[in-house]
Structure 1
Amino acid sequence: MNRQSSSKKWLLTGLALVITAFHLIPFYILLTNSLKQMGDFTSKWSFPDYFNLENFALAWEQAGLANAFTNTAIITFSAAVLLILFGSMAAYALARRTTKLNKFVYILFVGVMVIPPLTALVPLYRLVVNFGLMNTHIVAVLNNVAAFLPLTIFLYAGFIRSTIPKELEEAAKIDGASTLKIFFKIIFPLLKPITATVLIISSVYIWNDYQFAIFFLQDSSVQTLTVVLASFFGQNGSQLNLVAAAALLASLPMIIVFLFLQRFFIEGLAAGSVKG
């Protein structure tokens, strides 16, 4: 039995390493090409014997990444804060007050998750134009909040039901604490793992959003990284070193966020999906 268990463990470990290597291949190719000089036609698999860091400065300047980074950061940060604040509060009410109305609202939120966001593009576009919100950060923030709020509520509600005992709240109520004080002083600090999960999932999606940004953020002053990079790729398709450098710069913030929060990610995702 021990030999079988050990063999199975080594087999799973080997499989995990293969899958990890497979997912790291695109990043390796991106890195090698971003460090090569213009006119270097060596294999994309070969790592250069020099570091041409000028590609990053040129890509930053030519693609206008400074403004795009600012726009994307504002939209991502604002949407993530609103998602965490309103998603956690709504999930707390739905998880603790199990009335028929709350159950119906919760099922409605879960049902919305299966609807492709692009199906609402035409009426949403007309609504945005009528309200004069085209080419504004507000429309991007609200759109991303609306798109991710059902998933946020689903994860928070599952986490609250499965991991936070009601006795904590009952003790606080006996001491005279209000509902808001109970939530922000007792419940919310305990939501750190699922908050990290929501932050990673929503931020990566919002940071990389292209399908809605291309329609609602057409002015160059408010364009996000994905729109700017798509235009830059089209103009510099033959200069793979600059294209790779720009893509690598655009991906770094989310990689850093994930590295800081990854220890909470699996814990929060697993706990948040236990109960619905």
Structure 2
Amino acid sequence: MNFPLITMRDFVNVQKALLDSQGITSLHAVAGLSMGAMQAMEWGNAYPNMVKRIIPVAGHAYSDAHLVGFFDLLAAFIKLDPKWKNGNYYATGQPLDGLREARKLSLLTGVYWQWSQDNFGRAWADGRTSVRRNSFNDKYKIEAGLDAGATSYVQDVDANHFLYRLKATQDYIVGHNGSLADELARIKAPILFIYSPNDLVIPADKVCETGRMIRALRDEAGNRAVVEFAEIEGNAGHVDSIFSISQAAGRIERFLDREPYETPRRRARRRDGCS
């Protein structure tokens, strides 16, 4: 594990270098989902005069203790796999068992319990209707589904890359330097936070906390750029931001069409669940 640690700012700076190479000096909007939302916020902090609008989907200002702890559990599956060898596995093969189990946990946490119940319930993987287990190795449908999804995922993923992304997410805090208030105050662009109230990975309360903090900082500084929220309804938790993002299509369109300091009409804020 000799490769240097990376941060969200590193991702953003690489993207900025690509835009520079193409002569692009202004961005109408920067949007991203989950880890991409963290990068969108970082874009607004690092290059406030270049970014005109920000749309973080399932994102907030920093990784809290719960998220840091959760990602530590994901990493533990890989590091406990004997094939990991402290990252020196390239000559002998990937720690696929650990990577697979880490993916299963992330898949399960990425959805809300109601989605799992609605899609799997207590059905057996083999389709039988009995409520009794025939053998120790019998699997419920959800167990087989997690196995299949994780097995497919690990075919195209490198374990060390997975671990470095976990560390980058654990270490995420807007600006990566100084006080959170000071770094959030550097973000000048209007922001549309899109979130799910059932998200177990990026809780709605943390999204709302971030938005309210930015609003307070802007009120104090006289910055008229709006901070809005759009709530996505559903029972899939974190992945509702993928499955049901079309619910926010109208809000996104209006946000992109408005001038940066134009106040939205009341009806455009009707689903502002954080106010």
Does TM, scored on the shorter chain, surpass 0.5?
A: no
More strand by percentage? 2
More helix by percentage? 1
TM-score band, normalised by the shorter chain? under 0.3
* Higher alpha-carbon Rg: 1
Normalising by structure 1, report the TM-score.
Answer: 0.22
Between the two structures, name the one with larger relative contact order (CA 8 Å, sep ≥ 6). 1
